[in-house]
């Protein structure tokens, strides 16, 4: 397993690094097949360190998990937004329900437009 991946998110507790992603933010990458790698901000310079695999398993679609001001939100970059219709990508994002402060009512937000795209618990 890649040294930067968090294998068990049961007790996920990211460092409030305030570095590459900002205060109370952590990066993640997803694949079309439903894999997701969420950083705990330990030893992470950027999203490139969360890329692995090939084809459908390549974790190349990026976003940010934010718990700023007590709100737990997911932000999507345009490349990720272009594949949000894909069932594997949705499965990966929904797998974050219950991790840290994320719930079914946590919004998935466009990082560019700042519009809420859906809630993690939406069907």
Residue 107, φ and ψ in degrees, nearest 5: -80, 150
Q: Please list the residues that pair with 82 across neighbouring strands.
A: none
Q: State residue 2's pLDDT score.
A: 53
Residues in the chain: 123
Q: How many whole angstroms separate alpha carbon 9 and alpha carbon 29? A: 15
Q: How confident is the model at residue 1 (pLDDT cuts 50, 70, 90)?
A: very low
Q: How many whole angstroms separate alpha carbon 73 and alpha carbon 123? A: 18
The answer to whether the CB of 93 falls within 8 A of the CB of 117 is: no
Has residue 56 got a pLDDT over 60?
yes
Q: State residue 53's pLDDT score.
A: 92
Could you tell me the pTM of the whole model? Answer: 0.89
Stretch 52-69: mean pLDDT, rounded? 94
Higher pLDDT, 13 or 112: 112
Q: How many whole angstroms separate alpha carbon 116 and alpha carbon 73? A: 10
Q: How many whole angstroms separate alpha carbon 98 and alpha carbon 111? A: 22
């Amino acid at each position: 397993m890649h040294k930067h991946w968090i294998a068990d998110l049961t007790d996920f507790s990211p460092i409030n690094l305030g570095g590459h992603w900002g205060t109370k933010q952590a990066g993640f990458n997803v694949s079309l097949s439903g894999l997701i790698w969420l950083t705990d901000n330990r030893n992470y310079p950027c999203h490139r360190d969360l890329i692995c695999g090939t084809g459908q398993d390549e974790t190349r679609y990026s976003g940010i998990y934010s718990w700023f001001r007590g709100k737990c939100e997911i932000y999507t970059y345009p490349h990720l937004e272009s594949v949000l219709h894909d069932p594997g990508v949705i499965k990966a994002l929904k797998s974050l329900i219950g991790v840290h402060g994320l719930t079914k009512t946590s919004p998935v937000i466009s990082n560019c437009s700042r519009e809420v795209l859906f809630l993690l618990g939406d069907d």
